[in-house]
């Protein structure tokens, strides 16, 4: 009788219990963008379609992560059957769709086959939800689905498609990389009006979400980009400091811990053990220089020349020359000449992770870099700081764990069960680290001083979106569904 009464009370509480809960995941990588659960509630180790499943909801494809606040979950999606981009609100308790709103766009941007036009993760302040689509711009809704404002923006010049996500900073909404005339956009979150913008820098950035780093009286907006890193003052957007000499591409967002800022930059072929392999320029010209001018135009660039292969299986994640044409065409004239090719033959860049001390000004590369790591650097997943350690996951399922203060390896690099590609960023909570692979498995690690895999959970569908953790529940978006898992009594 007491058991029945308990279940009756829980049933009456319903979604109100969720609404009163402190567990939130309000943006890409959760509270403060760090990928760590805000609460200490127990999280499941073993889960799947038939274990510790709360609910499972079919959704159109998208790579945006679920955002959690109160009794609501927000995601974006691309319904290819109806050529539509939409924002979807679900009930957190049962996964039932509460409302869905289509973005007023007439065309959909072209993206790489592994990307999606619905990649940007929404963000919320508990009253409004803010979404971004490369094909449109910014949209703001209240929690009942009423559009409060919209802001059209130019299509970003991203070869792989849009990848960044909006971030809230007090009364400002920040967006990186969507616009030909600015680098970073700050708008009033209540109206969508521009507060400030920054001009295009020497380090263009298209994919990382901005990261807010609070240093004393200043809050800095950290934006990694091609070839360097920039920090802007949140109050007005002035440049505060920068670091040149990074990889020619930046996909990951920054994080912090132990008083340091951590930023990773990676381009395929820049790892010491996985160097780019190039044919001779003479051999390329002989086969593909159709007009005989001694150069290779974009139209002449071969589609069958493989310069790098990433991942653990033959043919998985290979990179071909035409996909990286921009890297070789240094002066941007639409031609690759012998000098430009020779400049790339030795791969003159290194992938790296920097640990940066606060308090710098202008070029800080010689003054405020605490340490640098060059092995195991992730291409797309952002680094995770948790309990004094940094977790990095590289394509092929190679895990690197570093001491955050020194950069030294905590244990030797370990290979997880799922190989292939990794796009989702690691997240952590309850003493566990969760790492999702494109193959559809979520590996659960014990966050300790040695490598200890607790479980490998196969969800049966590819995973590209970063999971969310709130109130002891892990929300995982796959290619066709949104799952909610919690340890069952």
pLDDT in tens, 289-347: 888 898 988 888 888 877 666 544 433 456 677 766 666 776 667 888 888 777 666 65
Between 49 and 202, the higher pLDDT residue: 49
The pLDDT score that the predictor gives to residue 393 is 96
Quick one: CA dihedral 5, 10, 11, 13, positive or negative? positive
What dotted CATH number matches 20-271+348-486? 2.130.10.10
> For residue 273, what are its two tokens?
């053990």
The band of 9, judged by pLDDT with boundaries at 50, 70 and 90, is very low
pLDDT in tens, 244-260: 878 877 889 999 999 99
pLDDT in tens, 100-123: 999 999 888 888 788 899 999 999
Above pLDDT 70, what percent of the chain?
86
The pLDDT score that the predictor gives to residue 303 is 82
Q: Which of 234-238, 315-319, 411-415 has the lowest mean pLDDT?
A: 315-319
Between 281 and 317, the higher pLDDT residue: 281
Between 278 and 438, the higher pLDDT residue: 438
Count the alpha carbons within 13 Å of 475 in the hemisphere toward its beta carbon: 31
The band of 3, judged by pLDDT with boundaries at 50, 70 and 90, is very low
Average pLDDT over residues 233-254: 90
| pLDDT of 130 over the 90 cut | yes
The band of 136, judged by pLDDT with boundaries at 50, 70 and 90, is very high
Looking at domain 277-345, its CATH class is mainly alpha
Q: Which of 323-337, 456-470, 471-485 has the lowest mean pLDDT?
A: 323-337
| pLDDT of 19 over the 70 cut | no
Domain residue limits, the chain: 20-271+348-486, 277-345
| pLDDT of 2 over the 50 cut | no
Between 29 and 302, the higher pLDDT residue: 29
pLDDT in tens, 56-89: 999 999 999 999 999 999 999 999 888 899 999 9
pLDDT in tens, 360-378: 999 999 999 999 998 899 9
The pLDDT score that the predictor gives to residue 23 is 76
The pLDDT score that the predictor gives to residue 339 is 82
| pLDDT of 399 over the 60 cut | yes
pLDDT in tens, 142-176: 999 999 999 999 887 666 788 899 999 999 999 99
- How high does pLDDT run on average in the chain? 87
The pLDDT score that the predictor gives to residue 95 is 97
The pLDDT score that the predictor gives to residue 4 is 40
């Amino acid at each position: 009788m007491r058991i029945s009464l308990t279940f009756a009370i829980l049933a009456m509480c319903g979604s109100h219990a969720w609404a009163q809960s402190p567990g939130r995941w309000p943006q890409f990588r959760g509270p403060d963008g760090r990928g760590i659960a805000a609460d200490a509630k127990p999280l499941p180790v073993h889960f799947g379609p038939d274990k510790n499943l709360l609910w499972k909801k079919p959704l159109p494809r998208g790579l945006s992560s679920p955002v959690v606040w109160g009794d609501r979950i927000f995601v974006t999606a691309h319904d290819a059957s109806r050529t539509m981009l939409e924002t979807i609100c679900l009930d957190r308790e049962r996964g039932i769709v509460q409302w869905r709103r289509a973005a007023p766009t007439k065309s959909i941007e072209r993206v790489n086959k592994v990307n999606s036009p619905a990649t940007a993760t929404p963000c919320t302040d508990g009253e409004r939800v803010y979404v971004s689509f490369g094909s449109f711009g910014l949209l703001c809704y209240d929690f009942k689905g009423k559009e409060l404002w919209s802001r059209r923006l130019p299509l970003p010049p991203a070869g792989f498609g849009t990848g960044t996500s909006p971030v809230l900073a007090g009364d400002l909404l920040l967006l990186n990389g969507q616009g030909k005339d600015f680098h970073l956009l700050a708008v009033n979150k209540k109206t969508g009006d521009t507060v400030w913008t920054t001009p295009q820098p020497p380090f263009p950035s298209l994919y990382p979400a901005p990261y807010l780093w609070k240093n004393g009286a200043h809050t800095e907006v950290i934006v990694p980009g091609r070839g360097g890193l920039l920090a802007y003052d949140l109050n007005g957007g002035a440049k505060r400091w920068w670091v040149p000499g990074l990889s020619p591409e930046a996909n990951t967002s920054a994080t912090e811990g132990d008083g340091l800022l951590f930023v990773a930059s990676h381009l395929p072929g820049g790892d010491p053990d996985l160097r780019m392999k190039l044919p001779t320029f003479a051999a390329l010209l002989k086969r593909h220089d159709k007009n005989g001018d001694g150069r290779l135009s974009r139209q002449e660039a071969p589609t069958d020349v493989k310069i790098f292969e990433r991942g653990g299986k033959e043919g998985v994640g290979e990179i071909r020359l035409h996909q990286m044409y921009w890297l070789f065409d240094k002066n941007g004239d639409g031609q690759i000449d012998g000098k430009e090719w020779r400049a790339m033959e030795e791969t003159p860049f290194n992938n790296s992770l920097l640990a940066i001390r606060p308090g710098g000004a202008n070029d800080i590369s010689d003054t405020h870099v605490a340490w640098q790591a060059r092995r195991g650097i992730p291409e797309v997943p952002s680094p995770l700081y948790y309990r004094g350690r940094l977790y990095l996951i590289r394509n092929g399922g190679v895990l690197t764990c570093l001491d955050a203060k020194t950069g030294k390896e905590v244990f030797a690099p370990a290979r997880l069960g799922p190989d292939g590609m990794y796009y989702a960023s690691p997240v952590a909570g309850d003493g566990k680290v969760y790492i999702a692979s494109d193959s559809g498995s979520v590996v659960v690690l014990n966050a300790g001083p040695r490598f200890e895999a607790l479980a490998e959970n196969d969800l049966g569908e590819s995973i590209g979106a970063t999971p969310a953790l709130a109130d002891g529940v892990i929300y995982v978006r796959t290619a066709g569904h949104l799952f909610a898992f919690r340890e069952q009594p």
